[in-house]
Amino acid sequence: MQSRRSMMAGSLALAGTAACTTMTQAPASAGLIYAPAPPATPLHGLNMQLLEVLHRSGMVGWSMEPVALPESVNRSTVLPAQERRTTLPIVTTADFALARKGAGPDWHGYDQASTDLLFVSKLYDVGFGFQVTDPAIAGPADLAGKSIAVPARPSAVRMMSEALVEHGWAVDGVEFVDCSPPQGAQLLAEGKVAALAWNLVLPRDGVPAPMLPSPPGARFLAVEPSAIARMNAAVGFELGPFVMTDGTPIISFAQALAAWADTPEADVLAMLAAIADKGGEFDGLPDDVAGMFDWPGLTNEVIHPVAARFRSGKA
């Protein structure tokens, strides 16, 4: 999964953030990061890159455990305060705002509002949309009365799939077929479903590529900004756009590291410095400080104070 980029890119990333990253060695701390993707998946491999960055930067006391959203945040909120402050979740554009509001559907909801859960750094971007093969499906309206292969509830991808159909496109009569990623890819290839929601687009050697093998003629249906805006308004997401290499717009399902307001500032600063210093050596991690804060709907209210200072060069 790791893909070293050119030394020049890494040098530029470091030079451009020198004012922010000048610090002593990483604090001798320990903690746990909850990663939302299942183990043995490409998404979890991308999450593990963060742990390697931290370990290379001297934060060897930190570990990572795969725990899905919203369980990771719900579990954290009931921990003793001393333990919670160093138990940090990786969040997504679909879940961060919901977690802070204590919102979401009953099958993918947050037990309480966590307004002290704050943004630290974007990690990598993921494209989400519906992949189709039938030439007769020219747009969303052509999905009416047809079936879409999706993850089972309570998956966030399932939550976005339902929101896109119901609110983004207002398409009636769609049947959702629960399946695993390989099953979904096979159903689409055999023409047993009209669309596949499982084929997330991930960074691969610096280029976004579908997670699963794509059958001949497969393409993604365009998701216009107006559809994303309707999804955000209806459900409370903060989704943004993602553009495929062929120019097709779909949805950004980006992932970010979050921390609590009382997470030790030295830990947050060390993590930010590690990502800025070494992120360019890994597939999908930010090349520079600007990339670390490339997140839809990001306001000062939701950024960790240390991250805000780091962003402005005052850390």
Position 106 scores a pLDDT of 96
Position 279 scores a pLDDT of 97
Cis peptide before 215 (omega within 30 of 0): no
Neighbours of 138 (CB within 10 A): 10
Structural tokens at position 220: 């993604």
Instruction: State the pLDDT confidence band at 24, using cuts at 50, 70 and 90.
Output: very low
Residue 117 has pLDDT above 80, yes or no: yes
Could you give the CA distance from residue 10 to residue 62 in angstroms, rounded to a whole number? 24
Q: How many CA atoms lie within 13 A of 267 on its CB side?
A: 22
* pLDDT more than 90, % of the chain: 88
Residue 100 has pLDDT above 70, yes or no: yes
Q: Which of 139, 118, 99, 133 lies closest to 227, judged by CA?
A: 139
Give the H or E element holding residue 63: strand 62-66
Express each pLDDT in 244-303 by its tens digit.
999 999 999 999 999 999 999 999 999 999 999 999 999 899 999 999 999 999 999 999
Instruction: State the pLDDT confidence band at 314, using cuts at 50, 70 and 90.
Output: confident
Which region among 79-88, 143-152, 203-212, 300-309 has the lowest average model confidence (pLDDT)? 203-212
Could you give the CA distance from residue 297 to residue 240 in angstroms, rounded to a whole number? 8
Could you give the CA distance from residue 202 to residue 223 in angstroms, rounded to a whole number? 17
Strands (E), 72-163: 87-92, 117-124, 127-128, 131-132, 147-150
Rounded to an integer, the average pLDDT of 41-61 is: 97
User: Is pTM, for the whole model, over 0.85?
Assistant: yes
Structural tokens at position 160: 């976005």
Position 29 scores a pLDDT of 86
Could you give the CA distance from residue 287 to residue 206 in angstroms, rounded to a whole number? 11
Position 28 scores a pLDDT of 61
Q: Which of 273, 236, 195 lies closest to 19, judged by CA?
A: 273
The sign of the dihedral angle between the CA atoms of 102, 199, 162, 244 is positive
Express each pLDDT in 166-177 by its tens digit.
999 999 999 999
Residue 1 has pLDDT above 60, yes or no: no
Rounded to an integer, the average pLDDT of 53-66 is: 98
* pLDDT more than 70, % of the chain: 91
Q: Tell the burial category of 247 from Cβ atoms under 10 Å away from its Cβ (0-12, 13-18, 19+).
A: exposed
Rounded to an integer, the average pLDDT of 19-40 is: 74
Q: Which of 119, 196, 117, 107 lies closest to 156, judged by CA?
A: 107
- Pairing type for strands 127-128 and 249-252 reads antiparallel
Do 119 and 298 contact (CB within 8 A), yes or no?
yes
Higher pLDDT, 2 or 223: 223
Could you give the CA distance from residue 14 to residue 252 in angstroms, rounded to a whole number? 26
Rounded to an integer, the average pLDDT of 123-142 is: 98
Domains and CATH numbers, the chain: 7-125+255-312 (3.40.190.10), 127-252 (3.40.190.10)
Position 20 scores a pLDDT of 43
